[in-house]
């Protein structure tokens, strides 16, 4: 395999000179219908309102070829060391199915990794069933009704977004739901708030930390333990109310303070861990293992789709390539993610981590400084809320901010009202369509303040309904998009050295042993408030 | 008064040529201590880690002078027509106190506006007291325990952020709290979720729409009404469970379907309305009028601070000027807002609307196209959560993203645990300080992947604790910052024409009368999913 920087590819110079496709003259109904690609899990990707014409497609296909994008993906799932900085394999795809031919599998540390992930899944299935059936109860014999995940970053954002995204579907399917809450921040106001009104006897805490050393998570473990003890309930045993999701070698794994442990390993980064035990335990407890399994199958379908060599049939690959055109040729630094689904209200926060932590890199995989921009800033809120907030800027601001719209024909909970001749869901979709077209086509007006420039680019991920399968595909679509972009930029999307310096300095301050005058001045600034 | 575009000011060319101050060599303890400015409400603004030296300050002071920033603010509070597009006054400052000398006041539509806002406040005080004391009950005689705000955009984001920000403080002060919930999205899954488990007999709905015609809000009103009727409770009268916040002339104001109405007017835009009846009703019901009054007093202090002519004593003004240096000289398109306080978890979403809807404009106040960038993209999540998410990009991405940090010495709820020799709150502050210094100073390392470039700029808003007064000052600080930036850029920060086109097109789709082939193609795309 050949690893080269984007600007060193032969196709880059030609691509760089290619003007954007003009949507105001070129957006036809045929283009819209033709630009849809299945993305797995009954999800579709439509790129009609991206500044991409047939010439662009040809060059992007060449770029995919030259940077060997699908080959690198195949190498990754085969166990190549794609996390070069940390010298590790990258195996999150394996948590939802094997992408290798025949009975090939990936071996690491002398262990069949597919078997390992499946073993954990089986254990999670059995455990979650036992808890939901009341065969495993709290220490005072009461059935568990609430689960509280204690984790931060990838142990929080993904699982939290998925929990919110699945809840409405489960309500409508009459699936029994254990309420899930999440504690993440080291700010003591976070656990204090989440623990308020909690019935500890019917609560199970899930402590999630791969290393078993995350400052926030260990601190919040102590916080919860203190609160448990303060209850003074006869026969209550804290250890029966805590389970861990951690690596086999972490201090947590051997702890007596937990009822059971479920394992993850070093080959799955936090932001890619929602389909590992990190997401499996909390979601299987909350919604039952079957719901989680459906999510995995949707994610696997998207993973299979991403193997497709033809860029016009590979949704994640084309999304990635178009994103690079926007970022490197058109020099657009941000992307807005706008789901027209309240259930996805925290999904942009998950994507913000996934994308910005993976590709917010200024050195390539060999540690050489890059001379072109990499991962964009990701932000977003659900529509139609955002329409009444920051869309003004997207429509009439001085900068172009590309958009990833997400929408569903049907609501999740299937409860609606007709006003002025349409349902709320119909209004939601009408607004989504209206925005796509308004951004793309703009509007001429005699009053410049009422003009819309148009050619504000967007793509659309859409499906009939936000089911577990569709959600799984949506999750995997973005993971694969980010992976392909990392290959194009020649960065390592799987490490995060940028989080280390802050940790080190915070440790210095807390140990009190620092002599740095700048740190001291800030401590002084806060001390003066006392 | 003189209105000119930024690039037409005499100082701009000199400012443009000024290189950023180097933090890696210039950040001293003295600079840090000297760079703090009181911002009202016991809040401080510190700009030590911005790329600003004494030369910059001099030119920024000239810019403030030349663009007559404080004069324009004084004109605004005196009732000048600063919302030029809609030919309206801009009076949100008046909701928290009069900034005019002696007994001058602002008259509009033959009415003393200070008296009008105060009359509404008195009515809200009496009403909220009567509800909280049980003198006004639900229609079946039960005391109100929950309030649900139905509104979108400015009627949602600000009040929601403030509710979350004040809750912990009220819990610690043993103030009785009526739970508040919020319905905003036209997505039917939003009201369905929020209404789940609600006891309608003890719930009061607050319908918030200035025009009384907002599609989402009226739709959700019907949604709630349908749910109320479906309850079939003996003696239950829906109209006794709904109040309105609207303009006197709106259809809602005269409706028989509401128990009472509280008034706002055309001189306060949605995103500036948190200190008007839009925020006053829900927050006074939830936390008592006294808590809300404290918030107003903090906001007023910040408003008074913003009158200061010396830029080194005017926190909002200096913040605004530095922001323009970042945006127009250094060409940095985004700003991250990172509160180290879980209570402020939705505050960045409010600021996103405030800033992006106000200054996301490409024409000046006379409707002429601008040739320089205006308002930045605003995004953010609370620290330390963000550290485990997108900070990788902020530290080691290819772009510089300036940061507005917010932090407090003490927690709100004063409930904490000591682990490894420090409290969680101490860990939180240590992390905040560590991040400021890590971004500013960076780190040299033999391994380029472990290098931190430094000179990543931030400012810090800080206080002893997040009280109602401090929160009010924080809110007003950003409102005034955005206002000053609008003056510098010569845009109208108080209209939002960019939201209209989408509304029009959505209306076309819903009425079914559209013949636009592009809209039809998208409708077809979704229809195929059926």
Chain B CB within 8 Å of residue A224 CB = no
Averaged over successive runs of 10 residues, the pLDDT of chain B (530 residues) comes to 96 97 97 98 98 98 98 97 95 96 90 97 98 98 98 98 98 98 98 97 97 94 96 95 96 89 96 98 98 98 98 98 98 98 98 98 96 98 97 98 98 97 98 98 96 98 98 98 98 97 95 88 95
A289-305 vs A157-172: helix crossing angle, rounded to 10: 110
Yes or no, beta carbons of B437 and A516 under 8 Å apart: yes
What does the DSSP assignment read for B194-211? HHTT--GGGEEEEEE-SS
| Shortest Cα–Cα distance, B162 to chain A (Å) | 16
pLDDT at A364: 97
Sign of CA dihedral B473, B248, A422, B193: positive
CA A433, distance to chain mean position in Å, is: 25
Instruction: Give the residue among B321, B295, B316, B319 at the shortest CA–CA distance from B304.
Output: B316
pLDDT of residue A513: 73
Mutate to test the interface with A, among B501, B524, B527 (most CBs of A within 10 A): B501
pLDDT at B254: 82
**Subunit contact B509:A434, Cβ cutoff 8 A:** yes
Considering only residues B104 and A470, tell me which one the structure prediction assigns the higher pLDDT.
Answer: A470
Alpha helices in B250-361 (DSSP H): 277-287, 289-305, 315-324, 347-359
Q: Once rounded to an integer, what is the mean pLDDT over residues A214-234?
A: 95
Report, as an integer, the average pLDDT of A394-414.
98
Interface test with B, best of A46, A189, A328 (most B CBs within 10 A): A189
Q: CA B41 to CA B468: how far, in whole Å?
A: 9
Give yes or no: B357 in active site. Answer: yes
A-chain CB neighbours of B431 within 8 Å are 186, 502, 506
Task: Name the helix (H) or strand (E) containing A179.
Answer: strand A179-183
Distance from CA of A78 to the nearest CA of B (A): 26
A to B CB pairs, distance under 8 Å: 473
pTM, full prediction: 0.98
- CB-based contacts of B193, cutoff 8 Å, min separation 6: A167, A168, A342, A413
What is the sign, positive or negative, of the torsion defined by CA atoms of B420, B424, B425, B427? Answer: positive
Between the alpha carbon of residue A130 and those of residues A117, A143, A199, the distances in Å are 20, 10, 20
H/E run at residue A264: strand A260-264
What local confidence, expressed as pLDDT, does residue B250 receive? 92
Mutate which: A164, A177, A392, A507, vs B, most B CBs within 10 A:
A392
Residue B27, Cα to own-chain centre: how many angstroms? 31
DSSP state letters, B102-121 = TT---EETTEEHHHHHHHHH
pLDDT score recorded for residue A255: 86
Active site (catalytic) residues of A: 357, 388, 503
* Crossing angle of the two packed helices B315-324 and B54-66, in degrees rounded to 10: 100
State yes or no: pLDDT of A243 exceeds 80.
yes
Between the CA atoms of A409, A412, A413 and A415, what dihedral angle is there, to the nearest 10 degrees? Answer: -10
Distance CA A266, CA A246 (A): 10
Structure token pair of residue B144:
């109100």
Residues with Cβ within 8 Å of B195's Cβ and at least 6 positions away in sequence, in order, are B183, B224, B227
* Contact yes or no for A424 and B379 at CB 8 A: no
Is the pLDDT at A514 greater than 80? The verdict is: no
Asked if B396 and A219 come within 8 Å (Cβ–Cβ), the reply is: no
Which 3-state string (H, E, C) describes A438-500? Answer: HHHHCECCCCHHHCECCCCCEEEEEECCCCHHHHHHHHHHHHHHHHHHHHHHCCCCCCCHHHH
Question: What is the separation, in whole angstroms, between the first and last Cα of chain B?
Answer: 60
Nearest to A434 among B193, B430, B505 (CB): B505
Chain A CA closest to residue B524? A33
First to last CA, chain A: 60
Provide ipTM, 2 decimals.
Answer: 0.97
Asked if B353's CB is within 8 angstroms of A390's CB, the reply is: yes
Residue B174 contacts A where some CB pair is shorter than 8 Å: no
The dihedrals phi and psi of A216, each to the nearest 5 degrees, come to: -60, -45
The H or E element that residue A421 is part of is none
Model confidence at A103, pLDDT cuts 50, 70, 90, reads confident
Cis amide bond preceding A384, omega within 30: yes
Q: Which of B87, B18, B16, B20 is nearest to B367 (CA)?
A: B87
Query: How far is the C-alpha of B323 from the C-alpha of B50, rounded, in Å?
Result: 10
- The shortest C-alpha distance from B441 to chain A (Å) reads 10
Cross-chain residue pair A463–B356, CB shorter than 8 Å? no
Question: What's phi and psi for B146, nearest 5 deg?
Answer: -135, 140
Min Cα distance A10 → chain B (Å) is 23
* Residue B124 near residue B289 (C-beta atoms within 8 A): yes
Nearest to A357 among B362, B378, B390 (CB): B390
Band (A254; pLDDT cuts 50, 70, 90): confident
CB A382 within 8 A of CB A339: yes
List B residues 92-151 in contact with A (Cβ-Cβ < 8 A): none
Whether the CB-CB separation of A398 and B428 falls below 8 Å is answered with: no
Average pLDDT over residues A252-256: 86
Strand, helix or coil for residue B458: strand
The number of beta carbons lying within 10 Å of the beta carbon of residue B436 is 27
Going by pLDDT thresholds of 50, 70 and 90, the confidence category of residue A101 is confident
Render B505-522 in DSSP notation, one character per residue: HHHHHHHT----HHHHHH
Q: How far is A183 from chain B (nearest CA, A)?
A: 10
Q: Considering only CB atoms, which chain A residues are within 8 Å of B185?
A: 342, 382-385, 428
| C-beta atoms of A419 and B222 within 8 A | yes
Answer yes or no: do A503 and B434 touch at CB < 8 A. yes
Torsion, CA B185, CA B189, CA B192, CA B195, rounded to 10: -50
Rounded average pLDDT over A318-334: 98
- A312 shares contact with chain B (CB less than 8 Å): no
Helix orientation angle between B157-172 and B347-359, rounded to the nearest 10 degrees:
150
Question: CA A482 to CA A263: how far, in whole Å?
Answer: 25
Whether the CB-CB separation of B451 and B442 falls below 8 Å is answered with yes
Taking each helix axis from N to C end, the angle separating B289-305 and B315-324, rounded to the nearest 10 degrees, works out to: 60
User: Of A30, A158, A176, nearest to A95 (Cα)?
Assistant: A158
- Cβ atoms of B465 and B32 within 8 Å: the answer is no
Q: What share of chain B is helix, strand, coil (3-state, %, to 5)?
A: 50, 15, 35
Min Cα separation A208/chain B (Å): 14
Cβ-defined contact of A29 to B520 (cutoff 8 Å): yes
Residue B22, Cβ neighbours under 10 Å: how many?
12
> Residues of B with CB below 8 A from A251's CB?
none
Please report the pLDDT score of residue B52 as a whole number: 98
> Which H/E stretch holds residue A221?
helix A215-231
d(CA A71, CA A186): 42
Which residues in chain A are contacts of B257 at CB distance < 8 A? Answer: none
Q: What is the pLDDT of residue B350?
A: 98
Distance from CA of B111 to the nearest CA of A (A): 29
Catalytic one of B301, B357, B469, B479: B357
Q: Which element (helix H / strand E) includes A16? A: helix A12-16
| Record: contact A437-B519, CB cut-off 8 A | yes
- Domains along chain B with CATH numbers: 6-96+307-495 (3.40.50.10490), 107-293 (3.40.50.10490), 497-530 (no CATH)
The interface residues of chain A toward chain B in range 372-391, judged by CB-CB distance below 8 A, are 372-375, 377-379, 381-385, 387-391
- Beta-carbon separation of A430 and B28 below 8 A: no
Which of B188, B363, B422, B492 has the highest number of chain A CBs within 10 A, making it the mutation to test binding with A? Answer: B188
Q: Does B419 touch chain A (CB under 8 A)?
A: yes
- Using the Cβ of A36 and the Cβ atoms of chain B, whether some distance falls under 8 Å is answered with yes
Instruction: Give yes or no for A462 touching B (CB within 8 A).
Output: yes
Using an 8 Å CB-CB cutoff, list chain B residues near A377.
334, 377, 379, 393, 399, 401
Contact (CB<8Å) A189/B343: yes
Q: Are A157 and A349 in contact (CB under 8 A)?
A: yes
Is pLDDT at A374 greater than 80 in this prediction? yes
A512: left (phi over 0), alpha (psi -120 to 50) or beta: left
């Amino acid at each position: 395999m050949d690893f080269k920087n984007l600007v060193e590819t032969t196709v880059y110079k030609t691509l760089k000179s290619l003007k954007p496709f003009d949507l105001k003259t070129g957006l036809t109904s045929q283009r819209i219908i033709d630009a849809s690609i299945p993305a797995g899990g009954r999800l579709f990707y439509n790129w009609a309102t991206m500044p991409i014409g047939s010439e662009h497609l040809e060059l992007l296909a060449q770029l995919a070829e030259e940077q060997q994008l699908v080959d690198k993906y195949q190498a990754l799932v085969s166990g190549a060391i794609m996390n070069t900085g940390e010298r590790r394999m990258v195996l999150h795809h394996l948590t939802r199915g094997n992408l290798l031919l025949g009975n090939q599998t990936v071996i690491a540390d002398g262990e069949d990794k597919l078997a390992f992930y499946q073993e954990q899944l089986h254990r999670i299935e059995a455990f979650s069933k036992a808890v939901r059936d009341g065969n495993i109860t709290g220490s005072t014999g009461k059935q568990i009704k609430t689960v509280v995940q204690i984790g931060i970053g990838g142990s929080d954002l993904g699982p939290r977004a998925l929990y919110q995204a699945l809840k409405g579907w489960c309500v409508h399917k009459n699936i029994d739901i254990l309420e899930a809450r999440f504690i993440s921040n080291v700010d003591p106001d976070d656990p204090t708030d989440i623990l308020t009104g909690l019935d500890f006897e019917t609560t199970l805490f899930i402590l999630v930390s791969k290393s078993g050393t995350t400052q926030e998570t260990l601190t919040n473990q102590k916080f919860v333990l203190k609160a448990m003890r303060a209850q003074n309930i006869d026969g209550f045993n804290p250890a029966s109310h805590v389970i861990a999701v951690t690596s086999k070698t972490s201090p947590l794994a051997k702890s007596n303070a937990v009822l059971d442990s479920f394992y993850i390993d070093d080959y799955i980064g936090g932001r890619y861990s929602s389909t590992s035990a990190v997401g499996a335990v909390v979601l299987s407890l909350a919604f039952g293992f079957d719901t989680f399994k459906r999510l995995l199958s949707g994610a696997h379908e998207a993973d299979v789709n991403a193997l497709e060599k033809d860029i016009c049939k590979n949704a994640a690959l084309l999304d990635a390539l178009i994103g690079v055109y926007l970022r490197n040729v058109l020099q657009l630094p941000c992307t807005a993610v706008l789901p027209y689904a309240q259930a996805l209200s925290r999904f942009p926060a998950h994507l913000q981590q996934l994308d910005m932590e993976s590709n917010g890199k200024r050195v390539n995989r060999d540690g050489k400084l890059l001379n072109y921009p990499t991962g964009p800033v990701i932000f977003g809120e659900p529509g139609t809320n955002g329409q009444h907030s920051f869309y003004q800027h997207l429509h009439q601001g001085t900068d172009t901010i590309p958009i990833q719209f997400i929408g569903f024909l049907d609501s999740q909970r299937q409860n609606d009202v007709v006003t002025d001749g349409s349902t709320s869901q119909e209004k939601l979709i009408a607004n989504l369509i209206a925005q796509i077209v308004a951004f793309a086509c703009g509007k001429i007006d005699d009053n410049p303040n009422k003009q819309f420039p148009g050619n504000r680019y967007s793509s659309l991920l859409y499906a009939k309904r936000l089911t577990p399968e569709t959600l799984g595909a949506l999750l995997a679509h973005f993971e694969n998009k980010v992976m392909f972009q990392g290959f194009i930029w020649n960065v390592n999307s799987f490490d995060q050295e940028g989080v280390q310096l802050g940790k080190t300095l915070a440790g210095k301050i807390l140990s009190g042993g620092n002599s740095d005058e700048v740190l001291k001045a800030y401590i002084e600034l806060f001390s003066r408030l006392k």
